[in-house]
Each structure stands twice: as structure tokens, then as C-alpha cells.
């Protein structure tokens, strides 16, 4: 038996034969041509055909991977019109007098490499998109096509990496799971695999050797473990886990669309945490009753400049529209600490988690803050929005943040731009805010406890440092007391109190939270139905 550990990016258990995709190398023949103009015409014709294919894909893939995800093919099509992509190709054909496929391959590979060399993980992951588009144009020029997943029996597909196109077009009935040497958890490939329910493990590196092709394997997309020629005991264990998961899933499906309440009939709101508009699809698929934490900082990551008001407005509007009348709580920018964007030019700090982050940035850069607040207020007319400020430590900070919100409203009102008065809440994620939650509750419309940060600040355990994980007792009595105190103070002031940190999904604590009177839990969408079943027993 060979055991390989990768990074599980899409949960599920699958067993079958491993099949390595035989990729035609993109290296194409360097064929000299006499008539460069004619070759450029060939390139343009291939480009148009590729654009047609992508147009069709962006429509037909909506059912399979969702509207937002299918937009990726739109982006690929736009790349075919982008002169940054096309000019170098035309230049190579003209100056080197070579065939179009060679020029596309050379320029496309260079651009893909430029992305791969970038520091930013998001931009790095875009390299596969350039590769994807380039491969599509070359396939058209050479008359070759995709051969992925057309094997006779369903298989576990293996490759260096999968392009988003390949993943989206997989025939689900023929592909049991995906495994790859490379890949990123935030790649579209991983997102598509999750959306389509295909178990996937990435990042095996060189350990995933080609000679494993054809061998029987079993994998667990949750743990990231792949067993080739597995011992019968492992197979029995994983198949039993798969059966349990399937049965539980079927049982939980009965709770879809049902209200969430305890044995005594006390309602609890079950909301979802999302990081992008795309995730709103997952929130709906998970049966979320709202969005309890929209981590808006993801709009600021993976870019080289600040997103403008319009860009932000569009994202918030789309999220609100997607969620229908369900509440969407937009947390204002929480950048800094582990979430860095170079263009913010944040100072190098000894202790970034204790440094310039979250509301501290917003209060020291009022223009930046007001742009976001204006975008949220403008979007507020499209649904049921709320604002939430992160890392509030004092009444004064809350007042300053609320004053910025009031200024944003005044600016819109002065221009006659419509907006709604929406609830303004805060995250309680420092011991200071939990201790003075009685004072904060008088000025906030709701509380949402960020247990990830509350835990690191209360226990003085860096949440990023795996080596001290053993010292991080997430069930520490100090955390539970702070949560209870915060919840009590919220109720005394007549406001609601939820939890949006990871502890909210900790089933060992659900009963304790219900007994404390927690009103809302905001969790990963996939945890909602399970939580609903556990709450019903409390």
C-alpha cells in the first residue's frame, strides 16, 4: 500500500482506478511561414472560434457550476480580446515568421509564467487560466481536442494540475475524484470541484508519480489522504465512513427549508459565512437563512489597487440579490494581520495581529472607509443588508465608525442617491469588547462574536502558529465565560447576539450556546443542516 498526503479541497470518499491524463505537450512545432499576414488571419479565426466556444460554455455551464462560476468563461473570452495577450502573439508571427500555434504557445507560456512567478497567491493561481485559454486556441489551430474523462469506466483522474475548463466540463458520471501534483485551494478548479461535489485533493507534488496510473486507489477528500493499492482494512474503514456520510446526508436533507428551533421551540438563526458573491450560491445550497459574515476584505485581496466604490457596490448588490430577502451582514474591511495586500503599504510590524488591522485601518484612513460604506449603503436598497464593524475595542471606536457611516449616508443623501437605514452591529472579538459589552450594547444593533480572534487574544495563542496549537484550548472556560457575558449583556440591552467564529459550528458546544441564549450561528454553509438537526435536540 502507498499512502500519499495532499491537501483536501473538496470532501468526499472515492474508490477507483487512477488515470493520469495524457496531456499533449503544449510544445508545438516551430513551423516557418512565408505569409505572416495569412498566419495572423489564421490566429484571428482560431481566436474567434475559441470565443464562440467560451460563449457557449458560459451559458451551458450555468446549471452545472452556477452562474457566478460560469462567468469565468466570460473572463477567458475577454482575455482573447486583451491586447496584453494578443499583441505579443502577433508580434512573434510577424518578426519570427512562424506558424500561429508556435506564437500562441510561446507568448501564452510566457504570460502564464509571469503570473506563476507573482508573490500573491491569487494572481499565481491565474496562471492556469492563461494556460487554459492558450491550450484552447492551440487545440483549434492544430485540430486537436480534449480527451479528458472519456475513459470507459469511472476513474480517479490525476494530473499535474487541472484547468478550470477541464474541471467544469468533466462528466460527473465518469469521474470519481480529482488528484493533482499542484494546485491552490482558492483556484477555480478547487471551487468547481466543490460546487460539482467531486472529491478533490491537490498538492501531492512529485510523490504522485505517473507509474501509479492504472492502479486501484481510494481517497478521502476531507483528510487529503490517497491510498494506492490500499489494505483491505483501510478500504473497509473508508467505505464505512462513506456509507455513514451518505446516510447522514440523506437524513439531513429532510431538514432543508425547515425552520431552526430548539426542543422548546426557541428559534435560532442559522446563517452562513461567505467571502465572495460566489459563495452566496453555496450559502443557498447549504440552506442558510442569511449571511452572518460577508468577509468583505476578500474584495481587496488578490489585486494591485483598491477596489473602487462601483466594484464594491456591484459585489454587495449581487450578494444581496442572490440572497433574496434574507439578511446579509457585511463586515467592513478586516485587512492586516494574516490578510495582507501590498498596495495598502502597511508598516512592517513585530506583531501584526496586535497591530494595524481591521477597524484601526478604517479609522485612520477615512476616505478608504467611506468608499466602502457608501458602496454598502448604495447596495442596501437591493435587499436586507446590515453592517458589522470588526475588532471594536471601545465605545469611542464604535462611535467613530458609526460617525463615518453617518457621513457616508449624508454624502449619498446630498446627491439624491437612494439608500436604506440598516442595522449596525459589531464583532466582539477581543477580551476588552466582551468585558465592556454592556456599554457597547447600548450603541450597537447586534453583536456577533468572532471566536477565532477572541480565542487568540484571550489565550494569547497566535492563531497562525501551528506549533503552539496544543496550547489553544478552544473550549477554555475563559472563552465560554466571555461569550456568556456578551450574550447576557446583549439581551439586557434588547439586542441579539450571534457567533460567527469557527466555534459556532463546534457541535460539542451547541447545547451550551443554546442554553446561553445565543440567537444566531453563522457557519460554513455545509454545516447548516447538521447544526439544525443538533439544535432540534437541544
- Could you list the active site residues? 188, 500
Nearest-CB residue to Mg ion? 453
Site for Mg ion in 194-223 (CB under 5 A): none
Specify the residue for cell string 439586557: 492
| Helix (H) or strand (E) run with residue 431 in it | helix 431-435
How near is the Cβ of 299 to ligand PEP at its closest, in Å?
14
Strand extents, DSSP E, 392-455: 424-428, 446-449
Torsion angle in degrees (nearest 10) through CA of 334, 336, 341, 346: 130
Quote the least distance from Cβ 10 to ligand PEP, whole Å: 22
Q: Which residue has the cell 442569511?
A: 290
Report how many residues bind ligand PEP under the rule CB under 6 A: 10
Task: Mark 372-411 with x for binding to Mg ion (rule: CB under 5 A) and - for no binding.
Answer: ----------------------------------------
Least Å from the CB of residue 449 to ligand PEP: 7
Residue of 180, 451, 458, 486 that binds ligand PEP (CB under 6 A): 451
Part of the chain binding ligand PEP (CB under 6 A), chosen from 66-74, 243-251, 445-453, 523-531: 445-453
Dihedral Cα 469, 340, 290, 9, nearest 10 deg: -60
In whole angstroms, how close is the CB of 472 to ligand PEP at the nearest point? 13
User: Can you list the pairs that 114-122 forms with residues at least 24 positions away whose Cβ atoms lie under 8 Å?
Assistant: 119/342, 120/302, 120/342, 121/184, 121/186, 121/302, 122/186, 122/301, 122/302
Task: Tell me the C-alpha distance between 236 and 240, whole Å.
Answer: 6
Contacting range for ligand PEP; rule: CB under 6 A; set: 64-72, 117-125, 128-136, 448-456: 448-456
What would the x/- binding string for ligand PEP be over residues 293 to 322, using CB under 6 A? x-x---------------------------
Beta carbon of residue 475, minimum distance to ligand PEP (angstroms, whole number): 15
367 vs 162: CA distance, rounded Å: 41
Q: Which of Mg ion, ligand PEP, none does residue 136 bind (CB under 5 to 8 Å by kind)?
A: none
**Minimum CB–partner distance for residue 493 and ligand PEP (Å):** 22
- Report the nearest approach of Mg ion to the CB of residue 473 (Å): 19
**Does an H or E element contain 243, and which?**
helix 232-253
* Adjacent-strand bridge partners of 202: 7
Strands 155-159 and 175-180: parallel
Contacts of 446 (CB under 8 A, 6+ apart): 386, 388, 423, 425, 490, 495, 496, 497, 498
User: 446-505: which residues touch Mg ion (CB under 5 A)?
Assistant: 450, 453
Which of 336, 450, 498, 525 lies at the binding interface for ligand PEP (CB under 6 A)? Answer: 450
Distances from the Cα of 1 to the Cα of 229, 230, 400, 427, angstroms: 5, 5, 61, 48
- What does 286 bind: ligand PEP, Mg ion, none (CB cut-off 5 to 8 Å by kind)? none
* C-beta of 8 vs 450, nearer to Mg ion: 450
- Measured from the CB atom, is 104 or 335 closer to ligand PEP? 335
**Interacting stretch for Mg ion, rule CB under 5 A, among 189-197, 254-262, 366-374, 445-453?**
445-453
Q: Which is nearer to ligand PEP, 380 or 458 (CB)?
A: 458
Binding mask 421-440 vs Mg ion (x if CB under 5 A, - otherwise)?
Answer: --------x-----------
d(CA 489, CA 432): 14
Say if strands 327-331 and 290-295 run parallel, antiparallel, or are unpaired: parallel
129, 279, 281, 334: residue in contact with ligand PEP (rule CB under 6 A): 334
State the residue for C-alpha cell 447522514: 248
Q: Which of residues 372-431 bind ligand PEP (CB under 6 A)?
A: 429
**DSSP secondary structure string, 473-510?**
-TT-HHHHHHHHHHHHHHHHTT-EEEE-SGGGG-TTTH
**Cα 74 from Cα 310, distance rounded (Å):** 20
Q: Three-state SS string across 71-91, please?
A: HHHHHHHHHHHCHHHHHHHHH
- The candidate with the shortest Cα–Cα distance to 325, out of 257, 277, 383, is 383
- Which range of residues in 70-78, 312-320, 343-351, 444-452 is near Mg ion by CB under 5 A? 444-452
Q: How far is the CB of 293 from ligand PEP (least distance, A)?
A: 6
Residue 169: contacted member of ligand PEP, Mg ion, none (CB under 5 to 8 Å, by partner type): none
Min CB(366)–ligand PEP separation in Å: 23
DSSP assignment of 361-382: HHHH-HHHHHHHHHHHHHHGGG
* Span of 22-30, 221-229, 405-413, 446-454 interacting with ligand PEP by CB under 6 A: 446-454
What are the phi and psi torsion angles at 274 (to 5°)? -135, 160
As a whole number of angstroms, the distance between CA 481 and CA 484 comes to 5
**Interface mask toward ligand PEP for 222-241; x: CB under 6 A:** --------------------
**Among 99, 268, 487, 500, which residue interacts with ligand PEP (rule: CB under 6 A)?**
500
CB of 88 to ligand PEP, least distance (A): 40
The binder of 295, among Mg ion, ligand PEP, none, by C-beta within 5 to 8 A per type, is ligand PEP
Q: Is 485 in the site for ligand PEP (CB under 6 A)?
A: no
* 202 vs 361 by CB, closer to Mg ion: 361
**Which residue, 21 or 361, is less far from ligand PEP as judged by CB?**
361
- Residues in contact with ligand PEP by CB under 6 A are 293, 295, 334, 429, 450-453, 500-501
- Residues in contact with Mg ion by CB under 5 A are 429, 450, 453
Amino acid at each position: 500500500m502507498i499512502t500519499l498526503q495532499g491537501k483536501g479541497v473538496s470532501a468526499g470518499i472515492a474508490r477507483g482506478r487512477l488515470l493520469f491524463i495524457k496531456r499533449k505537450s503544449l510544445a508545438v512545432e516551430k513551423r516557418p511561414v512565408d505569409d505572416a499576414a495569412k498566419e495572423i488571419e489564421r490566429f484571428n479565426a482560431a481566436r474567434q472560434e475559441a470565443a464562440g466556444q467560451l460563449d457557449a460554455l458560459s451559458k451551458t455551464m450555468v446549471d452545472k457550476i452556477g452562474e457566478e462560476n460560469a462567468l469565468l468563461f466570460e473572463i477567458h473570452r475577454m482575455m482573447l480580446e486583451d491586447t496584453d495577450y494578443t499583441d505579443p502573439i502577433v508580434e512573434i508571427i510577424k518578426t519570427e515568421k512562424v506558424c500561429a500555434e508556435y506564437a500562441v504557445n510561446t507568448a501564452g507560456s510566457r504570460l502564464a509564467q509571469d503570473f506563476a512567478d507573482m508573490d500573491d497567491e491569487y494572481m499565481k493561481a491565474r496562471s492556469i487560466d492563461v494556460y487554459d485559454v492558450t491550450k484552447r486556441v492551440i487545440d483549434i489551430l492544430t485540430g486537436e481536442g480534449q480527451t479528458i474523462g472519456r475513459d470507459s469506466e469511472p476513474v480517479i483522474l490525476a494530473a499535474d494540475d487541472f484547468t478550470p475548463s477541464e474541471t467544469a466540463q468533466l462528466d460527473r458520471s465518469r469521474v470519481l475524484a480529482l488528484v493533482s501534483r499542484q494546485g491552490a485551494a482558492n483556484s477555480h478548479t478547487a471551487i468547481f470541484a466543490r460546487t460539482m461535489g467531486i472529491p478533490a485533493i491537490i498538492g501531492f507534488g512529485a510523490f504522485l508519480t505517473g507509474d501509479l496510473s492504472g492502479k486501484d486507489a481510494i481517497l478521502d477528500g476531507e483528510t487529503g489522504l490517497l491510498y494506492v493499492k490500499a489494505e483491505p482494512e483501510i478500504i473497509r474503514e473508508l467505505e464505512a465512513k462513506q456509507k455513514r456520510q451518505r446516510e447522514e446526508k440523506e437524513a439531513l436533507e429532510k431538514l432543508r427549508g425547515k425552520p431552526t428551533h430548539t426542543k422548546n421551540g426557541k428559534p435560532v438563526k442559522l446563517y452562513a459565512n461567505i467571502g465572495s458573491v460566489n459563495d452566496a450560491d453555496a450559502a443557498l445550497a447549504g440552506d442558510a437563512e442569511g449571511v452572518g459574515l460577508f468577509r468583505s476584505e476578500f474584495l481587496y485581496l488578490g489585486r494591485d489597487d483598491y477596489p473602487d466604490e462601483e466594484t464594491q457596490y456591484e459585489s454587495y448588490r449581487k450578494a444581496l440579490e442572490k440572497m433574496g430577502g434574507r439578511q446579509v451582514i457585511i463586515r467592513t474591511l478586516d485587512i492586516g494581520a494574516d490578510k495582507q495586500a501590498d498596495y495598502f503599504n502597511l508598516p512592517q510590524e513585530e506583531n501584526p495581529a496586535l497591530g494595524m488591522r481591521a477597524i484601526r485601518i478604517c479609522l485612520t484612513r477615512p476616505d478608504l472607509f467611506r468608499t466602502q460604506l457608501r458602496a454598502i449603503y448604495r447596495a442596501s436598497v437591493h435587499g436586507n443588508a446590515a453592517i458589522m464593524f470588526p475588532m471594536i475595542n471601545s465605545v469611542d471606536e464604535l462611535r467613530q465608525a458609526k460617525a463615518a457611516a453617518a457621513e457616508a449616508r449624508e454624502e449619498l443623501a446630498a446627491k439624491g442617491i437612494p439608500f436604506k437605514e440598516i442595522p449596525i452591529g459589531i464583532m466582539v472579538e477581543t477580551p476588552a469588547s466582551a468585558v465592556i459589552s454592556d456599554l457597547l450594547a447600548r450603541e450597537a444593533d447586534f453583536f456577533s462574536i468572532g471566536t477565532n480572534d477572541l480565542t487568540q487574544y484571550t489565550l494569547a495563542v497566535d492563531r497562525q502558529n501551528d506549533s503552539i496549537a496544543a496550547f489553544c484550548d478552544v473550549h477554555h472556560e475563559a472563552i465560554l465565560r466571555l461569550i456568556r457575558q456578551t450574550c447576557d449583556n446583549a439581551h439586557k440591552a434588547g439586542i441579539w447576539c450571534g457567533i460567527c467564529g469557527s466555534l459556532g459550528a463546534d457541535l460539542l458546544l451547541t447545547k451550551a450556546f443554546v442554553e446561553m441564549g445565543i440567537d444566531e450561528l453563522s457557519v460554513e454553509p455545509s454545516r447548516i443542516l447538521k447544526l439544525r438537526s443538533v439544535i432540534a435536540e437541544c
